[in-house]
Each structure stands twice: as C-alpha cells, then as structure tokens.
Structure 1
C-alpha cells in the first residue's frame, strides 16, 4: 500500500495518506496512482458522477471506475488527492482519472485531538467487514445496513416510508440515520435522533458521508450516540468513543 505525505492547505497539518487497494476481477490488487508533489484541493462541492476515477489494472490492463482518493483533515477540511491521468495504452501500468472530486469525512474536533479508541482485550468474533462502493445515497443506506448486520443486528430493515424523524434503518432495539448529504451532520440532527430513540426505548446510531459539526460531535459524546463516517469505498469508520465501544461489543 503506497503512502504519500499530504499537507492540509487550511491548517498546514501534515498527514501520511495511504492509497486504498481494490480487487480487479482478474485478482490483481489495484490502487489509484497518487500524483506525488501535486497540491491537494479542498472540496467544497461535489456530485455523485464526479466522485470516481478511472484506474488501469497493472496485471491485465482492464479499466475500472474506483472512488476518487480523498482525505479529511481533523480541522474539518475535505481534501481531494490528485492522481495521474489514465494513459491510452497503459505502458507504464496503473493510472488515475481526470477532473474528479471526492468527499468523505471524519468529523473530528479542530481544536482538540481525535478520540482515542478504547482498549480491547480481544478482537470481536466476526470476520472483516466487506465494504461496498457508494455511488448514490441509496448505496450509503445499504452500506450502513450491512455494517449494522456485521455488528450483530440481524434484523435490520429500511422503513418503506421515511418518518418525520428521518429514520433510515431499524432493528430490534436500534434506530439509525444515514446522512448522505455533502454538509457535516448538524447538532439538531443528533438531538432529534436521540429524542426519537428515547421515546421508542431504542439505541441510536448515526452514519455520515460528510462528517459532523463540532457541537454535534460533542453532543453525541455526551448522549452516548455512536458516530460513524463512511467514505466512498463503503468503509464505515468510528468517530467517537461510543462508536468504538459498539464495534468492540457488537449488538
């Protein structure tokens, strides 16, 4: 897995970005070739069609669409990681795509360190989660449902009609909301979900593609609501300690 240095232009914080690895149908691992030395671009707007790059497999030469490499700085800035343009004949192997953008999030607090995962005495007795690429808002809900099932909620369903409380998924003793918008999830969303869970005696979980506002994350910490961010590869990541606890204990 290739790792490249990335500096956030907003806060000047340095990161080591590791490029994701995707399985080509031929079986060879494929990674978007990051353009070293090129400046990263803060993302302020995106569309679903612009979140993908074309990558050529080094093994068989096949061209496939994969999520645009991206990184979210703890200051809240979402960064697009440039990749090399795809070549016409692939003589040198892997490629990237042109003019794409990306977004994912990890809404951590700008003035404080990220949450510290709680120690776990043993790994959970479950296989590794298998992500599914996200191209639409519906895909984001599907990934959240698969992730909750992986955590041990085996009766996860999507309501046929979305309630005023904006509940996207339900299971026994659990409700979840999936925020697939391009703005960080707000404090009001956290509190509304918590109040609805309180009235139904259920646990609440939040998934977001664009991360969380600082006050929303603080409130979720106080209420014990697990927060997850999901990137376009379909891999949920814990944002706070309640999310770490949920991963450690499962349903």
Structure 2
C-alpha cells in the first residue's frame, strides 16, 4: 500500500503531503518505493537518467526492478526528489525471467516531458524489454530510449512527428541492428505514417493518461505480442 509523508519545500517553506505512486510488478502485485521518513528531500537542478530511477523489491515475488524515483513538484517551481529507504543499488540482484502474464498498465497523467518519457519506458518494460536506459545517441528531436535489441524515440512536444523524424530513427536503429518504435504526444504527419508502415516501425500516440495507443498495424501487433 502506498504511504504518505509530510514534505516541506526548502525554497518557499510550503508544507505538502506526498503519497508515493504504485506501479504494477510483472507478477501483478503493486510496488511502491519505500519513502525514507524524516529524510531531507533533494532539489532537482540537473537531471541524470540514473538518478531518475530507483531499484525496488516487490514484496510479493521478491523481484528487484527499477521504477521512477519519487518526486514532488511544488507550485513555486521547485522539483524535489524524495529519498527512499532499503533500496539496493542498480548493480544489485538482476531481474528474473519474465512471466507470461502481463499486468494491466497503470494510468500515469502526463504533465511534463519527463512524464511522457517515463510512461513510454514503463510501457516498454510491460512488453518485456529489460534494462531500459537513455540511448547513447540523442535523436534530432525528443528523447531516445534503448534496451537490448530495441531503440525507441519519445517526442513529448506538441508537434506531429515528421517523415524525417521517422526515417532518422529507422536509420539509427538499422546501424545498431535493433528494432525501433516511436512514441509521440501529438501524432504523426501523413507522410510519416506511410513511411513507418512501409518500414515496419510501430507508432504509438501517448494520451494524457500516459497510455500508449497504437496507430498502425505493426504497433497493434507489438502491443498484442510484446517483446
């Protein structure tokens, strides 16, 4: 069950009550990062991918997996990262085999570009892709994610993805002998959709609940079969 802790913003001294979000483990049980009561939150100034994720153990199946690090956005504009307790490092126990049954996708309201990237990463994990990380090569637009045998692009901007965006992703993935997938908040230009169909690139639109919606047949297939 998610817990709540009092949090004071160090910038404006405003008091908040923060409730840790829950995410579905591959076994189906809810997992919530354990908040460290009494610990001082850290103001987020510069972001790093490793800092945005935290390893948490599922109490039901014992599996260790990575989930978004708890954060709170104060109305004054300060973003606070909440400390967690009893968490092993990312070099700790590795996840076990993926069960055949996939848990339902929990809604995640998209308010910021980071939320869009997190929603896409969680969806890919639900499909069975492990060790998701920032891509080594930054795409011309949006954010690149990578996993074993996969390259994904997330466009959290209010602009339809273009033909060039889709082709650049495909060329980069081909150079890495990887499959590719595209996530966009604003959809795709007609030429981009036609080209993606011809190249076999799954296209998804992220709605405001953080749920990826397939927009072409190959995306429907990926959503149905997983990795």
**TM-score, normalization by structure 2:** 0.53
CA contact (8 A) 2:107 2:210 kept: yes
CA contact (8 A) 2:134 2:146 kept: yes
2-structure distance, mates of 1:165, 1:200: 17
Aligned residue number for residue 229 of structure 1: 205
2-structure distance, mates of 1:144, 1:192: 19
Matches within 5 A, 1:163-182: 163-164=138-139, 168-182=144-158
Q: Deviations over 1:11-32 (max 9, x none)?
A: xxxxxxxxxxxxxx9xxxxxxx
1-structure distance, mates of 2:186, 2:139: 22
Q: CA RMSD in A?
A: 1.8
- SS of corresponding position for 1:154: coil
5+ residue gaps, structure 2: 1-18, 20-99
Offset, 1:157: 1.2
- Determine whether 1:214 maps to 2:187: no
Aligned length: 128
Q: Deviations over 1:82-106 (max 9, x none)?
A: xxxxxxxxxxxxxxxxxxxxxxxxx
CA contact (8 A) 1:185 1:211 kept: yes
Runs (4+) of structure 1 exceeding 4 A deviation are 164-167
2-structure distance, mates of 1:190, 1:170: 16
- Determine whether 1:133 maps to 2:109: yes
1-structure distance, mates of 2:137, 2:118: 15
Q: 1:157 aligns with which of 111, 133, 136?
A: 133
Matches within 5 A, 1:1-251: 125-159=101-135, 163-164=138-139, 168-251=144-227
1-structure distance, mates of 2:204, 2:149: 18
- SS of corresponding position for 1:138: helix
2-structure distance, mates of 1:207, 1:148: 11
Q: 1:164 to 1:216 in 2, by over 3 A?
A: closer
- SS of corresponding position for 2:109: coil
5+ residue gaps, structure 1: 1-24, 26-123
CA contact (8 A) 1:165 1:196 kept: no
Offset, 1:158: 2.0
CA contact (8 A) 2:139 2:169 kept: no
